[in-house]
A and B are shown apart, each in its own frame.
Chain A
Amino acid sequence: MSELFVPVLLTIITASTPLVFAAAGEVVVEKSGVLNLGVEGMMIVGAVIAFAVGVKTESAALAIISGAAGGMLTAFIFGFLTLRLLANQVATGLALTIFGLGLSALIGHGFVGKTFSGLPKIGVPFLEQIPVLGPLLFVHDILVYLSVIAVFLITYVFNKTRLGLIIRAVGENHHAAHSIGYSIVWVRMGCILFGGSMAGLGGAYLSLAYTPLWVEGMTAGRGWIALALVVFASWRAWRAFFGAYLFGGITIIQLHAQGFGVDIASQFLSMLPYLATIVVLVLISNNSSRMMLNAPADLGKSFHASD
């Protein structure tokens, strides 16, 4: 059984990791009261820059860092427009996606058909020896570990630290936070840049590890799914993590079901993740008081001190 079990679960981990990065980053952004719908755009810029740097320098570390930086730079455009110039967040985010898809195609023009060796797998000493669990949990590339660490850190910061408190305050009621003396713009800018770098890492994972290649439009809508996961997770990083794995899991399992000859129209199988998300969401939101506590009250609203 474990012969099939382990590879299936490993596939789920690979399929979920880019979503974890992007969704966890967006959780932080939205917690600070900003709705950035440009995740797809930031992801794909991260993907192309990581791949380009990877091919040019053959250094995985540099590639990963530049992927994060690429996402961050794209996010900066969004931050500048929405925070400094108070542009509408929903529209700016969508424009960012159009822009990012175009920009990535321009940058990636010379990299179609090139290959990258992929990221090396790193085993955790001793733990990797455990049967079944060892190869499943403790032999991965650096980005998979990083995605888990990031989720832990984000959860920790929001629950235990002053910084988390500040971000939440800014997202809940920016006027109150402003009157206590926090700089709304800078806190939000920090969160947007962080979210951008996470989306960039998600993209980098796609082009460096998941499928180490560059082709135009290779994110194929994963940024949108990450956005959905954030709401699905009711703005909690660890729930976004599980949401990503649930989503990745359903996708992979339906591919396996087909391999076993399950007779069902592939379109209906493909629908399952989305239907599941809606159902789970309805179940969660039925408990409306909890939902209300987690949703940042000032989400999507521009802030200006004199408003």
Chain B
Amino acid sequence: MIFKRLILGVFLITGMLFNAADGSAAEKKAKVGFVYVGPIGDHGWSYQHNAGRLAIARTFSDKVKTTYVESVPYGADATRVITKLARSGHDLIFTTSFGYMNPTLKIAKRFPKVKFEHATGYKRSKNLATYSGRFYEGRHVVGLIAGKMTKSNILGYVASFPIPEVIRGINSTIIAARSVNPKIKIKVVWVSTWFDPGKEADAAKALIAQGADVILQHTDSPAPLQQAQKNKVWAVGQASDMVNFGPKAQLTAIIDDWNAYYINRTKAMLDGTWSSQDTWGGFKSGMVKMAPYNKAIPSDVVAMAEKAKDGIIAGTVHPFTGPIKDQSGKIVIPAGKMADDGMLLGMNFYVEGVDGTIPK
């Protein structure tokens, strides 16, 4: 009992000291908070968002204080952490994974003065904006390159979960690849995880053994790229430039670059011009970037890839331009038409050329 009282006393005294110190040193810095689903050391999704946070910290070093909480599970914990950020005086909070959608919406209602931004979701409110990247644009460029580089005409795709985001990427890749080489097939292996280097590597190996000579991935670790390097086939990096994991194998990488967006939104918050909106940025806004192309890619292929990229930026090229057939041969996007964002966001069918069916 005496112990307990002693500890309590110590706490009270030190607590008072600190509160006093806090009060005197109060300087007005805006606070921007981030919630990550993975560890910042995942070298993938959360790593790139954290790079964006660091970019804010560099740009507004005297005006903004950034904080983050990593590895926050979906569900009850997410709500707690986001609420905590809102309560502790954050002005702008980025919740960077799909599973945070409903918690963020709920909390945004409770804290109308705090501004929220949720990545990859579709629910918005007055103080809740959404944002995501048009990574399928990058996959279009990758598909063109892969279509030219493959000798076996088989592309291997290490996929995580059958959600529209992933299916859209697979379709975008195969449509582009078949536009330069109609014989191409794509084999998809679902690993049911975003992050398990071992399993991702095994999936890549399985695909390579089945004849795939370009490995694409929609999972987070550099392991598939490493396997490609080891087995002397091509691969494409995911989320960040992974070239030092497979300098020979990496054709290019689709980079999630949140820096510009985060800096813009922080600036808007500081200026008082922030408003809720939906941003789906691609090449044009710089949210999606291509890593430097591998030297081994012939210059005409690079030129073609760059042309497609410029076309996408200019609006003359759309990765989902009809006629596009689904696996059964039925036309889903008629000739001359392009898929609208609604169709892209809810995409849950494979187009022609994908081997196998979407897991139900």
Contact = CB atoms under 8 A, between A and B. Distances in A.
Direct contact of A and B (CB under 8 A): yes
Nearest to B207: A259
Interface in B171-200: 187-193, 195-200
Interface in A204-232: 206, 210-213, 215-218, 220, 222
Interface in B206-239: 206-210, 212, 221-223, 226, 230
A258 B202 contact: no
B203 interface: yes
A270 B191 CA distance: 8
A264 B43 CA distance: 31
Given A15-B202, A113-B244, A211 B41 contact: no
B255 to A, nearest CB: 14
A200 B82 CA distance: 37
Nearest to B39: A216
A115 interface: yes
Contacts of A85: none
A261 B198 contact: no
B42 A216 contact: yes
A240 B240 CA distance: 39
B245 interface: yes
Contact of A220 (B190, B197, B203, B245): B197
Contacts of A222: 198
Given A11-B205, A11-B209, A215-B221, A258 B198 contact: no
Contacts of A262: 356
B43 A267 contact: no
Given A4-B209, A7-B209, A256-B210, A109 B41 contact: yes
Contact of B355 (A105, A255, A261, A270): A261
A16 to B, nearest CB: 11
Contacts of B353: none
Nearest to B360: A265
Given A112-B43, A213-B197, A220-B195, A256 B359 contact: no
Nearest to B356: A261
Contact of A266 (B192, B200, B206, B208): B192
Contact of B41 (A15, A118, A216): A216
B198 A255 contact: no
Contacts, number: 115
Contact of A215 (B42, B205, B230, B357): B42
A11 B202 contact: yes
B53 to A, nearest CB: 16
Nearest to A212: B226
A148 interface: no
Nearest to A10: B205
A251 B39 contact: no
Given A7-B209, A259-B189, A265-B359, A105 B196 contact: no
B190 A252 contact: no
Interface in A95-113: 105, 108-109, 112-113
Interface of A: 4, 7-8, 11, 14-15, 18, 105, 108-109, 112-113, 115, 118, 206, 210-213, 215-218, 220, 222, 251-252, 255-256, 258-267, 270
21 contacts: A11-B209, A14-B205, A108-B41, A206-B197, A210-B197, A211-B200, A213-B43, A213-B221, A213-B222, A217-B39, A217-B195, A220-B195, A220-B198, A252-B206, A255-B189, A255-B202, A256-B206, A256-B209, A256-B210, A266-B190, A267-B359
